[in-house]
Amino acid sequence: MDFDLWTEKYRPPTLKEIVGQEHVIESLMRFVHSQNVPHCLFAGPPGTSKTTAAIAMARDLFGNTFDRNFMELNASDERGIDVVRNQIKNFARTMPAGDLPFKILVLDEADHLTTDAQHALRRTMESYSVSCRMILICNYSSRIIPPIQSRCAIFRFARLEDNAITERLDHIAKQEKVTLLKSGRDAILYLSEGDMRAAINLLQAASSTGEKISNRIVFSISGHADPSTVRKVLDKVTSGNFDDALELLKSLLYEQGISPLDLIRQIHREILRLEISQERRMTLLEKSAETEFRIAEGASGEVQLAALLAYVGLE
């Protein structure tokens, strides 16, 4: 492939190309325009462009000096105080290259840092704020100590809308010459729950079968049950066919190999869609939460799920 065509096809994204986070991107673009960036905290669910936004902003800021002025660390790999005392401090204390007076350090999954490491990081942020701006990325901002939160501009990333994910899936399918059926797209949207990264991974895994991507293909490669089957289990037990519901449950667990934890979470989602009274829905949701806790603690998945179905049928 011609090098110019390769670089055009695989060039890094810019801030303007990030979708679904317009309220955040507008602020980041103002930082680029003013060439002044504070310490930032990006918080939100996985697969919502947090890391991409940080890298894109740094590329827009630094241009040709990006490689010398940017560093990314993953705190889930190095969680102790040593990473702050060594790698982060060594990068922060050196002067930046180019016209801008600061460098940018991205600390991904910062909520995995130990409390001691976070306190050391707080001091480093103070001492080297002139030469280095830090962008902390996490799923749960509540796990970041308050002294760090108070030093950062906090940006919250929301789950992506279905239309944004659909547009990207259709684009990828067209570029890769993959046939993505509507049922397959809907299945990917159901499973990804606003996570663009998960949606793309599901599309790639489903395309490896060499078949047209339908809901059957997507659910089979993902290890999740078809929601219509889960709904059928609930319908059977509410109509008094407990034995049939139990056989269908065993089929999902042992023939299709669905994880009991994944299955209880799908049951939880289907309970929200049942046409029942609000009081009964609240009772069933409470019972499903208790079932999930017991399975997570090591109880038998089949026993706990069967008990939940019995409870649904007795209500």
Which of 12-21, 61-70, 302-311 holds the top average pLDDT? Answer: 302-311
Q: What CATH number was assigned to the domain covering residues 162-222?
A: 1.10.8.60
Q: How many helical (H) and strand (E) elements, i.e. helices and strands, does the chain have?
A: 17, 5
The per-residue pLDDT for 8 is: 47
Amino acid, single-letter form, for residue 311: Y
Assess whether pLDDT exceeds 90 at residue 74: no
Calculate mean pLDDT across residues 291-305: 93
The per-residue pLDDT for 17 is: 79
CA distance 158 to 191: 17
| Residue 217: C-alpha distances to residues 185, 211, 213, 214, 223 (Å) | 11, 8, 6, 5, 10
Burial environment of residue 26 by CB neighbours within 10 A (0 to 12, 13 to 18, 19 or more) = exposed
Assess whether pLDDT exceeds 70 at residue 262: yes
Backbone dihedral angles phi then psi of residue 209, each to the nearest 5 degrees: -75, -20
CA distance 113 to 78: 8
Encoding tokens for residue 44? 């939100």
Transcribe 175-198 into DSSP letters.
HTT--B-HHHHHHHHHHHTT-HHH
pLDDT in tens, 133-163: 999 999 988 899 999 999 999 999 989 899 9
| Residue 117: C-alpha distances to residues 81, 85, 94, 114, 123 (Å) | 4, 9, 21, 5, 10
pLDDT in tens, 16-66: 778 888 888 888 899 888 888 899 999 989 888 898 899 999 988 888 888
User: What is the torsional sign of CA 186, 187, 190, 194?
Assistant: negative
Residue predicted with more confidence, 167 or 96: 167
Average predicted confidence (pLDDT) for the chain: 86
Closest to 124 (Cα-Cα) out of 173, 84, 184, 75? 84
Q: What CATH number was assigned to the domain covering residues 227-314?
A: 1.20.272.10
Assess whether pLDDT exceeds 70 at residue 3: no
Q: For the sheet with 40-43, list strands across it.
A: 70-74, 103-108, 132-138, 40-43, 153-156
Calculate what percentage of the chain has a pLDDT beyond 70.
93
**4 — pLDDT class (breaks 50, 70, 90):** very low
Task: Note the pTM of the prediction, 2 decimals.
Answer: 0.80
The domain limits of the chain are: 3-156, 162-222, 227-314
β-strand pairing of 153-156 with 132-138: unpaired
Longest dimension (CA), the chain: 74
**11 — pLDDT class (breaks 50, 70, 90):** low
Q: Per the CATH hierarchy, to which homologous superfamily does domain 3-156 belong? A: P-loop containing nucleotide triphosphate hydrolases (3.40.50.300)
CA distance 199 to 195: 6
Residue predicted with more confidence, 315 or 6: 315
What b-and-e string marks burial along 123-162, b requiring 16 or more CB atoms within 10 Å of the CB? ebbeebeeebbbbbbbbebeebeeebeebbeebebebbeb
pLDDT in tens, 160-202: 899 989 998 999 999 889 999 999 999 999 999 889 999 999 9
Calculate mean pLDDT across residues 254-276: 91
Amino acid, single-letter form, for residue 133: R
The per-residue pLDDT for 308 is: 93
Calculate mean pLDDT across residues 260-282: 91
